[in-house]
């Protein structure tokens, strides 16, 4: 893939001599990710290529980005690291012992940093095998992700890329939100200019699609993406996407369509949870939840 640094575990060992037991973990979002040990503890190392990167959709996620200049990549990595440092929340992934580094390796300009290794599986892993989360776990996921959204919003940030792939279930049953690389700092207007839509197509909120940015985004945009993720976790189906639907069709449905009732797809979904999901999927932010605490209280009241 053109936008991901083509480096191997042995390259990583050369770049980060303190790292051992290095293994490839994943590619995605212009990053190559490795698992390793540093000081005997497991960590993740993320590598990015600095340079002008044409906008190429990730074939699995249909990640939408702008044409990225090297400065954009650097800014995004800095933002991700900064977000991890600033936001103290158990359900947001933490920065590891290596903060943001810039190096030249084999003639390539690279960025890398370490972050917490989350031992578990993503909600996407569960769903791709045709599964669903048990109701109690789905509710716990929603509570944990909402706590993360709340912590981000306390720093005037929004995540902008909440989706099953970025939602990990730890072995202890708690959930953690990954990849704050898209996180948007409301105080930094330069990061998202007019005409640029950031996020993953199938998880965009209606207001994220407003390329004129007349509608200011706030945390309620993340609540919409959480609503899609929660719908999928509970029903095993995406609320706006069906087999063979095109990207434009999905966007159109996000803007216009009312999804099928979750209870019509899984009869044991509690009414209260269905109401929460449908409210999260409201087209207008004012019809969702005005504070994360109100949403968390509603989730905790769901009989599971």
Partner 1 sequence: MSVYAQHGYGKGTKLEAAFREGVINGVILSPRDETSANMATLVANVRRDYPQAAVLFDPQVYAGAVSAARDGHLGEYPYYRPGLTRRDLSRPGDLRRIPETTLEYQRTLGTTRLLAPTVCFDDFRDPWSQIAVSLASEALEVVQQWPDAPRMLLTLVIAESAFASREGMDEFLDLITGLDAVGFYLVIKRESASYQATFEAERLKHLLYFVYSLSSINGFEMICGFSDLVGVLLHAAGATHTATGWFSGLRQFTLARFQPSSGGRRPRPRYTSAPLLNSILVSELDALAALGAHTVVLSGTPEDRSFSSTATPGSLPWPPDTAILHHWRVLSSLVDRIGDGDISERLATCSRLITNAAGSYAALQRRGASFNWSSNATHLADWADAIAGFRTLAGI
Q: Which residues bind partner 1 (CB under 8 A)?
A: 207, 215-216, 218, 220, 279, 284-287, 290, 294
Nearer to partner 1 among residue 284 and residue 300 (C-beta):
284
Shortest Cβ 282–partner 1 spacing (Å): 9
Residues in Cβ contact with 92 at an 8 Å cutoff, skipping those fewer than 6 apart: 83, 84, 148, 151, 152, 176, 177, 180
* Nearer to partner 1 (CB atom), residue 108 or residue 283: 283
**Shortest separation between residue 12's beta carbon and partner 1, angstroms:** 43
Q: What is the smallest separation between the CB atom of 271 and partner 1, expressed in angstroms?
A: 13
Q: Are 22 and 47 in contact (CB under 8 A)?
A: no
Q: Which residue matches tokens 């009241």?
A: 301
Residue 128 or 300 with smaller CB distance to partner 1: 300
Helix ranges (H only) for 30-90 are: 70-86
Q: Which residues are catalytic?
A: 161
Nearest residue (CB) to partner 1, 207 versus 274:
207
CB of 92 to partner 1, least distance (A): 22
Alpha helices by DSSP H, listed for the chain, are 9-15, 70-86, 123-128, 135-154, 219-235, 247-256, 262-265, 271-280, 292-300
Task: Write the CB contacts of 198 (distance below 8 Å, at least 6 apart in sequence).
Answer: 64, 65, 66, 160, 161, 182, 184, 192, 208
Residue 287 vs 301, nearer CB to partner 1: 287
Torsion of CA 291, 295, 297, 300, to 10 degrees: -160
Nearest to 147 by CA among 218, 92, 83: 92
Residue with Cβ nearer partner 1 (56 or 287): 287
- What backbone phi and psi angles, to 5 degrees, belong to 265? -105, -25
Rounded least distance, CB 279 to partner 1, Å? 8
Is-contact 238 253, C-beta < 8 A?
no
Q: Tell me which long-range contacts 11-15 makes (C-beta under 8 A, separation of at least 24).
A: 11/105, 11/106, 12/36, 12/45, 12/47, 14/105, 15/103, 15/105, 15/110, 15/112
Query: Least CB distance from residue 246 to partner 1, whole Å?
Result: 27
In angstroms and rounded to an integer, the radius of gyration of the C-alpha atoms of the chain is 19
């Amino acid at each position: 893939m053109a936008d991901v640094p083509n480096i191997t575990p042995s390259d990583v060992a050369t770049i980060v001599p303190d790292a051992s037991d290095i293994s490839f973990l994943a590619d995605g979002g212009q990053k190559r990710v490795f698992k390793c040990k540093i000081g005997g503890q497991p960590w993740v190392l993320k590598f990015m290529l600095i340079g002008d990167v044409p906008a190429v959709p990730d074939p699995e996620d249909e990640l939408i980005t702008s044409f990225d200049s090297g400065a954009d990549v650097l800014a995004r990595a800095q933002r991700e690291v900064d977000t991890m440092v600033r936001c103290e929340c158990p359900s947001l992934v933490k920065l590891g012992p290596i903060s943001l580094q810039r190096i030249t390796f084999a003639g390539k300009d690279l960025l890398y940093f370490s972050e917490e290794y989350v031992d578990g599986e993503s909600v996407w892993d569960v769903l791709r095998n045709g599964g669903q989360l048990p109701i109690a776990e789905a509710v716990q996921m929603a509570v944990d992700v909402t706590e993360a959204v709340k912590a981000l919003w306390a720093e005037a940030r929004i995540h902008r890329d909440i989706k099953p792939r970025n939602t990990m279930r730890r072995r202890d049953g708690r959930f953690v939100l990954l990849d704050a690389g898209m996180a948007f700092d409301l105080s930094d207007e330069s990061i998202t200019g007019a005409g640029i839509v950031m996020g993953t197509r199938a998880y965009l909120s209606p207001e994220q699609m407003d390329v004129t940015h007349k509608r200011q985004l706030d945390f309620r945009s993340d609540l919409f993406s959480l609503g899609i993720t929660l719908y999928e976790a509970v029903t095993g189906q995406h609320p706006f996407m069906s087999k063979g639907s095109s990207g434009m069709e999905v966007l159109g449905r996000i803007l216009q369509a009312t999804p099928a009732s979750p209870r019509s797809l899984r009869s044991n979904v509690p009414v209260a949870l269905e109401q929460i999901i449908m409210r999260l999927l409201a087209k207008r932010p004012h019809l969702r939840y005005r504070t994360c605490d109100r949403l968390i209280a509603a989730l905790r009241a769901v009989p599971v």
